Structure 1
């Protein structure tokens, strides 16, 4: 546990490099050039029709080749929150600095039904994970997925904005023809985010699963919000 503290602090406090040129060259399609922003991120969609792996070149670093996305042609996508949906983090009870710094990918507890649920979903198509954690915890979360034998699909972090989940879902809806299973928890705003997705993208959501980690009143509120949508939904149990 003591070793996890400096490791996680280093991941939570990465050095940012703004203003660095980044070039993305797909196997088929034009190159895309962008410059990192103040936090050190560079985000820009590839043009329609881009195919194959993409080579990313950053000034002063060796080129990195990224595999082609695994989901544009998928018939079904599962999008799942991680915090208090897959991983028992205690976010709804108040995330503590101590719990975040002392845990790692092998010690974070999972909800008991998660392995069977996500492996079953992975048999139908790619599983995409969303997290409100800082992206400095990428290594820890990817280690968790690997060690626990969970689907290791794309992993999206908050990128400093509360609406990142809506943006990811909207992008997936625009760039694929898949139907969706959306998994989240009642402790945060997942039900509201998923309800918005259902309204804005009719016919794309196949079912909604919500981890019941809130109060009885919150469960009733979620039920009232989701029932009129006409999409099958259910509650997943909290940890015993």
Structure 2
């Protein structure tokens, strides 16, 4: 499989370039690429280029890139997932899977039941995990990871452009609103119609947050009788939104 590397400023006409520091380290130290090896470069905005390694040193990896091209890909539905992020490796796993699924944007939520504050260091780690997931999966556009925002603020103001807004809430199962059916009126029928998904932290959204969301037009949905972890619920809802 051709190795892929993220280069945000790909020259349109091709030419000699150095891989960014983190990418060069991965190519040189982890993958042990050598002069003459073929790689694929992508800029995170849908543009790719074939390249050949021309020099490898202790500090940098140099490539000769061919002219850039746009890779034809099936249009994806715009999906935003706002979530009260879990801690540690669970958050990294969630970012990786949302990226692989093709989610457009991930918004970390500060909820009333959130047990930790998302730091700038965590955002940087997630950004790197997202890039690695793009490299592995073949995705050529980066998923946006937004700055953390208060759940009340985001639920009241966001998602206006989305054709469907889904709030994960286990109590919704009592009313029969199961997300797995995806049969409710207003379901987006084309990729151009976006979907916004909100998933709370451990323990879920508090009733005040649910009330604010439903007043703003969000539809409370459940995945059935079982209560899933944050990352499980977010991944399942995102997969349903992307592929239904």
TM-score range, shorter chain: 0.3 to 0.5
TM-score, normalising length: structure 2: 0.35
TM-score by length of 1: 0.35
* Higher relative contact order, chain-length normalized (CA < 8 Å, sep 6+): 2
